[in-house]
Amino acid sequence: MNGRGNRRRFVAAMLSFLQPGIGHVYLREWLRAALWGIVWAGSLLIVLTTAGVELSARNLLATTAGFFSVVEGFPIEAALAMFAVTVLATMDAYWLAARENHRTGEVPRCPNCGKELDPTLEFCHWCTARLDGE
């Protein structure tokens, strides 16, 4: 495994740990990024409403201290639920990057366009470049 592939896995995982969905954006997995963002935001909304926190953008975003005062009031179950969503998103981003590294190591690529080749063809079915001697 090359160093760049290892770095890509850890960067994707770190970004997803900081904010679920961002590691998937880094991997250009747009649908998964949107889904993890929605899952995280929905979980946060559920946690805040069940914790009895008044939901207003002014209260949450007015100051950083206001936001942290809301987070301090989380019950332990709510904090664990948010942590679980974050860990699952982190694991998913790491797994996707690892799978991409493994897949790109096995499949031959077109020297012209860089896309995956069908080994049964003598040309690239993406850009139609001839594959002489490959």
> What is the DSSP secondary-structure string of 63-129?
-HHHHHHHHHT--HHHHHHHHHHHHHHHHHHHHHHHHHHHHHHHS-B-TTT-PBP-TT-SB-TTT--
Average pLDDT over residues 40-55: 75
Structural domain includes residue 125: no
The domain in which residue 42 lies consists of 3-106
Structural domain includes residue 115: no
Structural domain includes residue 19: yes
Q: How many domains does the chain have?
A: 1
Residue 37 reports pLDDT greater than 80 = yes
pLDDT of residue 71: 65
Structural domain includes residue 87: yes
Structural domain includes residue 133: no
